Amino acid sequence: MDKKKLLMMVEIAIFAAIGLVLDQFSFSLWAQGGSISFVMLPIVLMAIRWGIVAGLATGLIIGILQMAFGAFIAHWVQALLDYGIAFTVVGLAAIVRKPLLEASQALNKAKMTTYIVIGIFIGGFLRFSAHLIAGVVFFKEYAGDENVWKYSIIYNTSYMLPATILTAIVAVLLFTTAPRLLKTFDSIKGKSPASINESSTSS
């Protein structure tokens, strides 16, 4: 196994653990689940640093860890949707990786902000979609006489929208002030020490 792949695997494990911890420091809105946290932040970071595979893997491990540490499971398909799929698809924020790294290289913070927000909202929307389907299929009894789709949309939007917005705000502040966090060592090792120091000072 080459050093680059080993480093990626180590970072996946570390950031998955960080994601699990961040999810414990959350604000719960509903007794039956749904909370506002920064669990998506390490997934997005890995997606940008290493690409889509690392992002998906980090999200999947976080979902599995949540199931292992007492997640609410009504059915195995619901568990797959609410944990396996929901957190894995956040890694698809990697779709903005190339233009974001280019903007970071150019120290264009306006473009960086735009791509970070787009990537996080893509990941957030896909996660929301997985929760939405799980709610419609497995938690329709909570809707009562209300339309189950309307109920699930309102329920999941109530925590997913603020969680996505807060994650985007923190990510923008973090990544624009320390753009080197978006890059792996492999992506900058070709630079001379002077250019790396110059880039770090400029950021």
Higher confidence at residue 72 or residue 169?
Answer: 169
**Start-to-end C-alpha separation, the chain:** 34
Domain boundary assignment for the chain: 3-202
pLDDT (0 to 100) of residue 30 = 59
Residue 194's pLDDT is what? 36
- Three-class secondary structure of residue 114 per DSSP: helix
Q: Which of 47-61, 89-103, 187-201 has the lowest mean pLDDT?
A: 187-201
pLDDT tens for each residue of 4-30: 899 999 999 999 999 999 988 876 665
User: Percent of the chain, pLDDT > 70?
Assistant: 86
Whole-number mean pLDDT of the chain?
87
CATH of the structural domain 3-202, one choice from 3.30.70.3000, 1.10.1760.20, 3.10.20.440, 3.20.20.140: 1.10.1760.20
SS3 of 70, please?
Answer: coil
- For residue range 59-116, list pLDDT tens digits in order: 999 999 999 987 888 898 999 999 999 999 999 999 999 999 999 989 899 999 999 9
What's residue 51's pLDDT? Answer: 94
Pick from 60-64, 65-69, 131-135, 198-202: least confident = 198-202
- Using a pLDDT cut of 90, give the percent of the chain over it: 67
Question: Taking 80 as the threshold, does the pLDDT of residue 136 lie above it?
Answer: yes
Inform me whether the pLDDT recorded for 163 exceeds 80: yes
Confidence class of residue 195 from pLDDT cuts 50, 70 and 90? Answer: very low
pLDDT band for position 140 (50/70/90)?
confident
pLDDT at 182: 79
Residue 182 to residue 108: CA distance in whole angstroms:
14
Residue in the structure block whose two tokens are 């980090």: 58
Distances in whole angstroms, Cα of residue 132 to Cα of each of 138, 147, 189? 10, 13, 43
* CB of 32 closer than 8 Å to CB of 72: yes
